[in-house]
Amino acid sequence: MLDDILDYTKHIRERPVWQPIPRSVRDSFRQPLPQEPAKLTSLHNTFMRDILPYSVGNVHPGFMGWAHGGGTPVGMLAEMLAGGLNANMGGRNQIPIEVEQQVVRWVRELFRFPDTATGLFVTGTSMANLIAVLVARMAAIGTSVRRQGIGATRKRLIAYTSASAHSCIAQAMDLAGLGSDVLRIIRVDEQYQMDIQALEEAIAKDKSAGLTPFFIAATAGTVDVGAIDNLSAIAGIAQREKVWFHVDGAYGALAMLAPDIAPRLAGIERADSIAFDFHKWGQVPYDAGFVLVRDGKLHHSTFAEPAAYLRRETRGMAAGSPWPCDYGPDLSRGFRALKTWFTIKAYGAEKLGAMISKTCTLAQYLKHCIEQEPALELLAPVALNIVCFRYRGDHADAVNRNIAADLQESGIAAPSTTTVNGCLAIRAAIVNHRTNGSDIDALIQAAVAFGSTYIDCRSKLGQS
């Protein structure tokens, strides 16, 4: 198994990025609960034949969809060790918790947070954003919210984020019991950054209406185009208005590792909380989300819950309080920290930063290729590693939707799509450390070739 999966990553370029899944393969996973044991060799064969070829392909250098990391063999091997150790990371007196705390200390150092800040591995940034909202909600209402819920407060809490923010920010409001209507969507400027004046106006309007602004979610690396909000300006507003300043840095926050990009995240060090993923630009295998909270005491009091069966002691296995389960909703947790610790130790911060810079350089190269190609058109500024473009011409939305699907089905390159300024865009997010210039060339050539095949049938596409 180990040989096969190492060969898979070694020879990944010989495979299509993605391929359509045959009906028979899909059907083979719709069987009744097995009663008899199966041989491991046969399960391994099934994996090689029916599972491995049909994943989404984000290990492949031609994968440029959404914001998926590429993983590394180092992370994979660490995951195997973690699986064998089977540590439950809810807490208790064990060195795996120290490993997680070591990563927490590195994260604090990276973002220049104080020693009193706390951090926690979670599934992903969606969960990390939710945790930040829950801590901020506690800060605004007080501990009573944990017993009485938000119905007992007279305060009407209001949150702010930009029109480019990820939908999980609104979902976090919903899950926190506040309802997504409390989230004010602030317009963006031509750089797709939150409009600072519009933010200030919205806060002033809400305050004069007797509402309580409590949370601003800025984004470091927006999902559509990779814009970084003006974090310093937003930090200043949050400080002045006494509002929680959160940064959703799902993939972008780790640009702090890249000396040439880090200055553009100035102000992130003033955040009350930061959410990000090691599984995106950090290349740690899924999943490895992370939340960092400046006020560790507040973070603790948002989640810690005494229970006789989780009693803490000063010696024995129940020592070492506080435990990770005191900082989030999960009690049982996997050892996500190990693959992250291995990745950071094995490659070092400098090399990881250089890899992040390289993906941004490739994005600039892609932008340049698009500008040189008369059939293509750039749809948004390229701030980081995301490039949005389209094939020019009539019925462009239908044509470009088809080009994206053609690219994916061809196995040559796998971008995703989004909408930019009302236009359907082919969106290439260069997150994978394996991607190089030849992958960009292949994407451009194939996009132009597929686009040209629609010239005759445009009117048909326009009608569909």
Number of neighbouring beta carbons within 10 Å of residue 103: 21
Q: Which stretch binds ligand PLP (CB under 6 A): 79-87, 146-154, 192-200, 244-252?
A: 244-252
**End-to-end alpha carbon distance in the chain:** 46
Nearest approach in angstroms of CB 256 to ligand PLP is 15
Which residue of 97, 223, 231, 440 would you call a contact of ligand PLP, by CB under 6 A? Answer: 223
Nearest approach in angstroms of CB 385 to ligand PLP is 11
Does residue 166 touch ligand PLP according to CB under 6 A? yes
Q: Which stretch binds ligand PLP (CB under 6 A): 216-224, 295-303, 417-425, 437-445?
A: 216-224
Beta strands in 79-223 (DSSP E): 118-122, 157-162, 183-186, 212-219
Does residue 168 touch ligand PLP according to CB under 6 A? yes
CA 158/CA 146 separation, integer angstroms:
19
Q: Which of residues 60-99 bind ligand PLP (CB under 6 A)?
A: 67
CA 423/CA 201 separation, integer angstroms:
29
Per DSSP bridges, beta strands 414-420 and 63-64 are: parallel
CA angle 321, 322, 324 (to 5 degrees): 120
Nearest approach in angstroms of CB 402 to ligand PLP is 24
CB burial of 141-164 (b: ≥16 within 10 Å; e: otherwise) equals: beeebbeeebeebeeebbbbbbeb
Pick the closer one to ligand PLP by CB: 398 or 428: 428
Pick the closer one to ligand PLP by CB: 72 or 222: 222
Q: Which stretch binds ligand PLP (CB under 6 A): 34-42, 135-143, 173-181, 245-253?
A: 245-253
**CA nearest to 61, candidates 283, 249, 382:** 283
Pick the closer one to ligand PLP by CB: 161 or 402: 161
| SS3 call for 194 | strand
Pick the closer one to ligand PLP by CB: 289 or 353: 289
Which residue of 64, 82, 250, 256 would you call a contact of ligand PLP, by CB under 6 A? Answer: 250
Which residue of 72, 126, 359, 417 would you call a contact of ligand PLP, by CB under 6 A? Answer: 126
> What secondary structure does DSSP assign to 203-216, as a single string?
HHHHHHTT-EEEEE
- The 3-state DSSP composition of the chain as helix, strand, coil percent (nearest 5) reads 50, 15, 35
Does residue 418 touch ligand PLP according to CB under 6 A? no
Does residue 443 touch ligand PLP according to CB under 6 A? no
CA angle 174, 276, 88 (to 5 degrees): 90
Nearest approach in angstroms of CB 221 to ligand PLP is 6
CA 374/CA 369 separation, integer angstroms:
10
Pick the closer one to ligand PLP by CB: 271 or 444: 271
Strand partners, 119: 292
Eight-class DSSP state of 162: E
Which residue of 58, 72, 219, 418 would you call a contact of ligand PLP, by CB under 6 A? Answer: 219
Q: Which of residues 286-305 bind ligand PLP (CB under 6 A)?
A: 289
Nearest approach in angstroms of CB 416 to ligand PLP is 10
Which residue of 57, 124, 213, 267 would you call a contact of ligand PLP, by CB under 6 A? Answer: 124
CA 241/CA 244 separation, integer angstroms:
9
**CA nearest to 252, candidates 393, 79, 429:** 429
Two structure tokens written together for 154? 């007279």
Pick the closer one to ligand PLP by CB: 395 or 427: 427
Q: How many residues does the chain have?
A: 464
Does residue 125 touch ligand PLP according to CB under 6 A? yes
Pick the closer one to ligand PLP by CB: 329 or 462: 329
Pick the closer one to ligand PLP by CB: 108 or 166: 166
What φ, ψ does residue 393 adopt, rounded to 5°?
130, -175
Does residue 408 touch ligand PLP according to CB under 6 A? no
Query: To the nearest 10°, the Cα dihedral for 95, 98, 103, 109?
Result: -150
| Residue closest to ligand PLP, measured at CB | 124
**CA nearest to 219, candidates 250, 241, 255:** 250
Two structure tokens written together for 101? 């705390």
Does residue 243 touch ligand PLP according to CB under 6 A? no
Pick the closer one to ligand PLP by CB: 247 or 396: 247
Q: By the 8 A CB rule, do 229 and 195 touch?
A: no
Does residue 206 touch ligand PLP according to CB under 6 A? no
Pick the closer one to ligand PLP by CB: 168 or 298: 168
Pick the closer one to ligand PLP by CB: 206 or 277: 277
Does residue 251 touch ligand PLP according to CB under 6 A? yes
Q: By the 8 A CB rule, do 412 and 442 touch?
A: yes
Q: Which stretch binds ligand PLP (CB under 6 A): 35-43, 221-229, 231-239, 266-274?
A: 221-229
Report the interface residues with ligand PLP, using CB under 6 A. Answer: 67, 124-126, 166, 168, 219, 221-223, 248, 250-251, 277, 289
